[in-house]
Amino acid sequence: MATHIPTVDLSCFGPGGSVEDQKAAAVKLHDACSRFGFVNLRGIGISSQRLDDAFAYSKRLFDLPLEDKLRAPHPPEAMPHRGYSHAGMEKVYSKAERDADAASNGTGEALRKTEDHKESFEIGSEKNDFQPNIYLPDSIYPGFKQDGLRIYHDFHQAGCRILDALCMSLKLDPEETARLKQLHSGQNNQLRLLHYPPIETQKLKSEVIGRMPPHQDWSSFTFLFQDSVGGLELQDPGTKEYLRSIPEQGTCILNVGDMLMRYSNGIYPSAMHRVTLPPSTVQDMESDTITKGRYAIPYFFAPDHEALVEPMSSLCKGSGHLNYEAVRWCDYGEYMSRHMYKGTQEVSVEAN
Ligand SMILES: O=C(O)CCC(=O)C(=O)O
Ligand SMILES: [Fe+2]
């Protein structure tokens, strides 16, 4: 793991920032996103207090007894992608794996072979009629809805700042910038609370069980905060080597998703990433027989549900052609998520 992940400060995209500083940050952002598809970000506008609150909110949720968490159950199928998923319920896989399964008329069973040992809670916008939220009742977790929506809003604001910077980094013209912003109204973003429970190191090492296998996100981009445990790794598309994301206070990792890859006509590659053994365990495999639990909070910044995603024309000028066909976000998401939950798989098997 030779190369380290560069860091860009986006505070200049907040109040009082100068255009000169913004342009300099946009150049750095372009360098990192075009080379790697990921970058560390600082200064995205979420205060350390608000961030601490978000992690405390998540910890308090996952500390509840299972039967309480199951009062806001994720449905057995993939959509709506909302509410609580217990460990082993959701299965992550890559686009290449999904395509291979589809090509062989698979049922998705092969994709679900190894369990992802994580529990998660998904929260979206109240304005998303396609995916209504599923909340814990106040009797179990006072203020759960209100606090969750506040975090969603904070992260949405930060996402808008990141989008501004990305538009500048791609040198989009004013009309394209306006269109891209309009397509990302915030209706279809997703706040994800993740907890990876402690687990026997040997099981993780021998891959009997996993944390999160290699995959790309299919939103436009994801930004993610993690606790100090670590274990997130992102693949350098040039060398295929995985680089460690080193947790750092106040810094998040930004990774390009499939939709931004398509909007950018492939200039920014969608980042392959995974969660594996944390560095402390790798260093001391003998005494670290139990791998520590880990918390992470990714926020998926996505186009609106029915938005058409196609390469921006100004980014096709050089090569003269579009590297990607237009897709609707909802169709792409439906395809990708079909086997993430078992219920859908059973339903589609019956439907055949
Ligand atoms: O837990 C992490 O660091 C990664 C999470 C992730 O990649 C995802 O939820 O898509
Ligand atoms: Fe991911």
Q: In the prediction, which pLDDT does 344 show?
A: 44
Q: Which atom of ligand 1 is nearest to the CA of 222?
A: 10
Under 8 Å CB-to-CB from 227, ≥6 apart: which residues? 55, 247, 294, 295, 296
Half-sphere exposure of 41 (CA within 13 A, CB side): 32
pLDDT of residue 351 exceeding 70, the answer is no
Q: Give residue 1's pLDDT.
A: 52
Q: Find the mean pLDDT for residues 119-147.
A: 97
| CB of 232 shorter than 6 A to ligand 1 | yes
Tokens coding 213: 């296998």
Write the Ramachandran bin of 43: left for phi over 0, alpha for psi from -120 to 50, otherwise beta: left
> So what's the pLDDT on residue 350?
33
Q: Compute the Cα dihedral for 166, 172, 178, 183 and give only its sign.
A: negative
Q: Which listed ligand is nearest to 231 at the C-alpha?
A: 1
What average pLDDT does the segment 15-38 reach? 98
The tokens of 108 are what? 């998705």
State mean pLDDT over 242-269.
Answer: 97
Residue 321: what pLDDT? 84
97-103-107-109 Cα dihedral, nearest 10 degrees: -30
Q: Which ligand is nearest to the CA of 275?
A: 1
Percentage with pLDDT > 70 across the chain: 96
Q: What percent of the chain has pLDDT over 90?
A: 87
pLDDT at 10 over 70: yes
Taking residues 141-167, report their average pLDDT: 98
Q: Are 331 and 249 in contact (CB under 8 A)?
A: no
- Higher-pLDDT residue of 25, 206: 25
174 Cα–ligand 1 center, Å: 33
Q: Calculate how far, in angstroms, residue 138's C-alpha sits from the geometric centre of ligand 1.
A: 28
User: Cα-flanking dihedrals φ and ψ of residue 194, to 5°?
Assistant: -125, 135
Q: Is 273 in the pocket of ligand 1 (CB under 6 A)?
A: yes
Cα–ligand 2 centroid distance for 175 (angstroms):
30
Structure tokens at 311: 């390469």
Q: What is the mean pLDDT of residues 8-27?
A: 98
Model pLDDT for residues 284-316, shown as the tens digit of each residue? 767 778 999 999 999 999 999 999 999 999 999
Cα–Cα distance, 77 to 56 (Å, whole number) = 29
* Comparison of pLDDT for 349 and 338, the residue scoring more: 338
CA 272 to ligand 2 center in whole angstroms: 8
**Cα angle, residue 336 at apex, residues 331 and 338 outer, rounded to 5°:** 95
Cβ atoms of 196 and 211 within 8 Å: the answer is yes
Q: What pLDDT sits at residue 156?
A: 97
The verdict on the CB of residue 217 being under 6 Å from ligand 1 is: yes
pLDDT averaged over the chain?
93
Q: What are phi and psi of 123, to 5 degrees?
A: -130, 135
- Cβ atoms of residues 208 and 199 within 8 Å: no
> Which pair of tokens denotes residue 310?
């196609």
Query: Across residues 265-284, what is the average pLDDT?
Result: 91
Residues pairing with 122 in the sheet: 83, 192
Instruction: Tell me which of 113-117, 161-165, 266-270 is least confident.
Output: 113-117
**Residue 274 in contact with ligand 1 by CB distance below 6 A:** no
Q: Measuring CA to CA, how many Å separate 34 from each of 129, 236, 256, 315?
A: 35, 11, 10, 13
| Residue with CA closest to ligand 1 atom 9 | 298
Protein residue with its CA nearest to atom 8 in ligand 1: 298
pLDDT tier for residue 89 given thresholds of 50, 70 and 90: very high
Q: How many C-beta neighbours within 10 Å does residue 322 have?
A: 16
| 2: pLDDT strictly greater than 60 | no
C-alpha dihedral, 257 to 262 to 267 to 268, nearest 10°: -10
